[in-house]
Amino acid sequence: MKKTLLFAAMISSAFAADSVPSELRCEYHASPLAIGTTAPRFSWKLSPSTSAARDIQQSAYEIQVAREADGFEKTPLWSSGKIASAATDQIKYAGDPLVSRDRAIWRVRVWDGAGVASEWSQPTSFGVGLLGQADWSALWISSKEDHSFTTTENVQNFIGDPILGKLVLTPAKYFRKEFESPAIVRATAHATALGVYTLEVNGKRVSDERLAPGWSAYQRRIHSQTYDVTKLIREGKNAIAATLADGWYSGYVAYGLFTGQEALVPGVNGRYYYGVSPAVRVQLELEMADGSRKTIITDPSWKTSLGPITETDILMGESYDARKEMPGWSSPGFDDSSWESAVCKTGTASKVEPHPGVPVRPIEEMAPKTVREHQPGVFIFDLGQNISGVVRLKVKGKAGDKVKIRYAEVLHNDGRLSTENLRCARSVDTYILKGDPAGETWTPEFTYHGFQYIELTGFPGQPGLDAVTGIVIHSDVPYHGTFESSDPMLNRLYQNMVWTQRANFFEMPTDCPQRDERMGWTGDAQIYVRAATFNADIASFYTKWLRDLNDDAWDYGAYAAYAPRPLARPNEHHAAGWMDAGVICPWTIWQIYGDTGVISEHWRKMNDFMDWRTARDPELKGAIDDCGFGDWLSVGEVKTSIPFIDLAYHAYDAKLMAEMAAAIGNEKDAQKYQELEKKVTAAFQKAYLMPDGKLGIHNQTAYAMALFFDLIPADQRQAAAGHLAGLVKENGNKMTTGFLGTRPLLPALSATGHHDIAGILMQQREYPSWGYEVDNGATTIWERWNSYIKGSGVHEPSMNSFSHYAFGAVCEWMMGELAGIDRAAPGFDRVKIAPRPTGTITSAAAAMETRHGKLACSWKVESGKFSANLTVPPNTTADVTLPVQGEVREGDSPAAGKPGIRKIQGNQLTLGSGSYQFSGDFLAP
């Protein structure tokens, strides 16, 4: 009989005099310049004084918030006093009212389990952004040339046929304003755009952000950025300048289905879904030592012109004519006499608020691995990794030389670029040289691509490897997860998952970074969201996107198939497994980050969605008014019906809603959804479950979904799991699942006594499998199991992304089951460590950063012995289950300061924080 032992290494005190709280955050950000709330939430982590420290617990905390100008010497805005609590996160400000432009500093001290106080943390800061329309005196400005456009060559669709009409591409617009400044103590620039922009002051770019202010439901909400430009302002003459492009607002978005109809009709030509004329809004606030202010705003006194960016579009690419450069255009003294006055744009009443997420920016650079001349004058570079981003071109030639840059994820068998899967996304950048004898470099600004291969044509001379550099661009989400095992295929697969997540966490969780979609598909998002949290801190990223999702929910209650939602295609209104992101994603953010605020913020819309769902299916048979996506891209002959999927998700959503209602103290709705879950589950069982545990739809997805959603009674659960295992075996130990069925497949098997089969699927190398992708050279996760076919090459160009994270949801199983690290309570206040070796895998190591700190497990099986190194975060307790029989031995642990060995009977342990080493006789599954 297994015994549970509370194992606590006692130390005199976890806190020494030099131990203080660390990693202070406000609204998930370190020292944010402009938060979008007057009731911010604070968080910190506990740092042990030594690596040997164990059982670090917080028993109380005290927070102080003061005005930045006053410091803590004066009466603070808020002093919480000593609060008896273990909480280190989601602690809401409760002091004097905050208003737009407030700047504050804050600090915290904590008490350990023995009641010993730490020192105060180092203070950190936060600022409140512009929260209301009255805070903006700047006007929206545009250019009289906002309808100017160029038409380029006819584009081709994915099968090579010309598409009616031509691309309608617009140049970037340049805006500038000169002003006088007295001596200042601070300068703050607030900026936003209907479109995308960059901002410069006195010839210097204020940030490396790309495609700001991002994409949102422009008709409801527009985001802004705030920059500290104090060091860029001079006493005397100054200049402020902005470059503006169409971006998502008026550029090509989603399906670029060009029809040849009127170019300026919104949505007809695949663009102008939100508006025709992009606009920019900038407000520069100068503060003097005497407390006075001077504000520089966008208005008709600004001058505007075209410039070297002659074409630019997120999907189509960018053209730059270096001969048209305007040296010094963003500095004072530039002759703008030939420039026109800006014009005001009216009719925009959407709320403008600080961007709550992380910026898109260049993250790293990649040098090509190889370059070869495919045809005379056609050079193809291989980065060795599929990425999202652009390239930096390095070239020397004569004025007028034109270099064309094309991109692709894969090559055809004959070595040429495979671009058919881009569909209507041209994805071509062009650079025209100015003839600088010292050489020229250029990086596209307002576009991005998904690619591994780069083709140059028109390059003067023979390019070396340094002619191009890959610039990886995506949302600057903090990545922290690691995974490694004895199976090299799994190691490469994990890297593929991370690279795919990086490429698609681009302002929103997109489906792909390369073709004419790049949208926030809700099905993909809910399938992968839990896996994503193992790899990165996605809290603020999802805070932003969940607002997009709720802003663009359908008026009748359903969540859309993608968000933001620029278009309303009649066959893409709502879909089972897609619209459920509106419930599943907030639930996941709460479970991982302890964030109940996201539940409260969106509760009304979630409740409306559930009410609509119940009303549309009063008999609980599963609705059919659906887009019909189903188990997208499944490969089995027996398909999972839409009513089955709809009813299963209905029950699952009700379960999650009940849990969330309880978490925010809404007992009435908690009871409501508990009863609904029982009712829908009973209806599901009546419709589909047979006495022998067999389902009316007999395929892998149906069983995986029903088991994962807990829709099968306990007395029939093993029988149903047996049917699932049998289906896998009958298929040669290969899966048949699509997007919706793959995520629950391995977890369902492992949870029901078939962990061995889950391991076989994980290590499978034949089609369809993850190993098949890796063996065929994948560096990211494919959209299709057969995106590439051995001997045949690229498959199905009409819909074939090579960077699509949905099937990467198995990362959740790799980290949580194989490596064995997961939460045991919301917010990781209690953690689980339960490694589960399987297959031929003899070792695995995984780590992730929780809101409390690092959680890690590294294990190996050798000569019948199991050993593991564990790391439990501070301020948590771990429920540990090890695959050993007999006694568990705690090995020599210098980190714990303990020579010798401690023997523990039983393989279940409860541990406090710290580092541990254990070993024992391996208990095979």
pLDDT of residue 132: 95
User: Among 226, 224, 225, 213, which Cα is nearest to 187's?
Assistant: 226
255-271 per-position pLDDT tens digit: 654 443 344 445 556 78
- Measure Cα distances from 222 to 161, 243, 554, 708 in Å: 38, 18, 19, 38
pLDDT of residue 257: 45
pLDDT of residue 156: 46
Dihedral sign, CA of 415, 417, 420, 422? positive
- Measure Cα distances from 777 to 469, 773, 782, 801 in Å: 21, 7, 11, 15
Number of H helices, E strands in the chain: 14, 51
Mean pLDDT of 373-397: 98
3-state secondary structure of 844: strand
pLDDT of residue 68: 95
Residue 872, classified by CB atoms within 10 Å of its CB into exposed (0-12), middle (13-18) or buried (19+), is buried
Which residue type sits at 49? S
pLDDT of residue 8: 31
The model's confidence at residue 375, banded by pLDDT at 50, 70 and 90, is very high
pLDDT of residue 145: 64
In b/e form, how buried is each residue of 449-463, taking b as 16+ CB within 10 angstroms? bbbbbbbbebbeeeb
| Residue 708: its H or E element | helix 700-708
The model's confidence at residue 458, banded by pLDDT at 50, 70 and 90, is very high
Which residue type sits at 717? R
Structure tokens given for 716: 């029939």
pLDDT of residue 904: 73
Please state which of the ranges 11-20, 176-185, 734-743 shows the lowest mean pLDDT.
11-20
pLDDT of residue 546: 98
Q: Find tokens 């933001």 and name the residue.
A: 564
Task: Please determine, for residue 157, whether its predicted confidence score (pLDDT) is greater than 50.
Answer: no
pLDDT of residue 153: 52
pLDDT of residue 891: 75
Whether 740 and 523 have beta carbons less than 8 Å apart is answered as yes
Task: Please determine, for residue 134, whether its predicted confidence score (pLDDT) is greater than 70.
Answer: yes
Whether 440 and 395 have beta carbons less than 8 Å apart is answered as yes
pLDDT of residue 744: 98
For residue 181, count other CB atoms closer than 10 A to its CB: 17
Whether 353 sits among the annotated catalytic residues: the reply is: no
Task: Please determine, for residue 294, whether its predicted confidence score (pLDDT) is greater than 70.
Answer: yes
More reliable by pLDDT, 789 or 734: 734
Task: Please determine, for residue 205, whether its predicted confidence score (pLDDT) is greater than 60.
Answer: yes
pLDDT of residue 919: 94
More reliable by pLDDT, 52 or 295: 295
Mean pLDDT of 603-632: 96
| Catalytic-role residue among 445, 783, 812, 817 | 783
pLDDT of residue 797: 75
3-state secondary structure of 84: strand
Structure tokens given for 258: 């060009």
278-290 per-position pLDDT tens digit: 999 999 999 999 9
543-596 per-position pLDDT tens digit: 999 999 999 999 999 999 999 998 766 667 899 999 999 999 999 999 999 999
pLDDT of residue 676: 98
pLDDT of residue 163: 41
- Contacts of residue 615, defined as CB under 8 A and 6 or more positions apart, other chains included, come to none
Can you say how many angstroms the Cα of residue 760 is from the centroid of all Cα atoms in its chain? 30
Task: Please determine, for residue 705, whether its predicted confidence score (pLDDT) is greater than 90.
Answer: yes
3-state secondary structure of 135: helix
3-state secondary structure of 418: strand
Mean pLDDT of 133-146: 90
Whether 254 and 516 have beta carbons less than 8 Å apart is answered as yes
Alpha carbon distance 526, 549 (integer Å): 12
Mean pLDDT of 141-169: 58
User: Is residue 347 left, alpha or beta, with left meaning phi > 0 and alpha meaning psi from -120 to 50?
Assistant: left
- Contacts of residue 535, defined as CB under 8 A and 6 or more positions apart, other chains included, come to 479, 480, 481, 497, 498, 501, 811, 848
| Catalytic-role residue among 507, 517, 677, 812 | 517
pLDDT of residue 9: 31
The CA-CA-CA angle for residues 797, 500, 207, to 5°, reads: 115
Whether 677 and 661 have beta carbons less than 8 Å apart is answered as no
Please state which of the ranges 3-17, 627-641, 751-765, 821-835 shows the lowest mean pLDDT.
3-17
- Measure Cα distances from 768 to 725, 788, 839 in Å: 17, 11, 18
Structure tokens given for 470: 């890959």
> What is the value of pTM for the model shown?
0.95
How high is the mean pLDDT of the chain? 92
Mean pLDDT of 783-787: 92
Alpha carbon distance 582, 627 (integer Å): 17
Mean pLDDT of 608-632: 96
711-757 per-position pLDDT tens digit: 999 999 999 999 999 999 999 999 999 999 999 999 999 999 999 99
Helix axes 700-708, 714-730, angle to 10 degrees: 150
Task: Please determine, for residue 788, whether its predicted confidence score (pLDDT) is greater than 50.
Answer: yes
Task: Please determine, for residue 78, whether its predicted confidence score (pLDDT) is greater than 70.
Answer: yes
- Residues facing residue 802 across a β-bridge: none
Alpha carbon distance 473, 280 (integer Å): 23
Whether 517 sits among the annotated catalytic residues: the reply is: yes
Structure tokens given for 832: 């689980």
DSSP string, 597-623: HHHHHHHHHHHHHHHHHHHH-TT-S--
The model's confidence at residue 792, banded by pLDDT at 50, 70 and 90, is confident
303-317 per-position pLDDT tens digit: 999 999 999 999 999
Structure tokens given for 633: 């891209």
The model's confidence at residue 85, banded by pLDDT at 50, 70 and 90, is very high
Can you say how many angstroms the Cα of residue 619 is from the centroid of all Cα atoms in its chain? 38
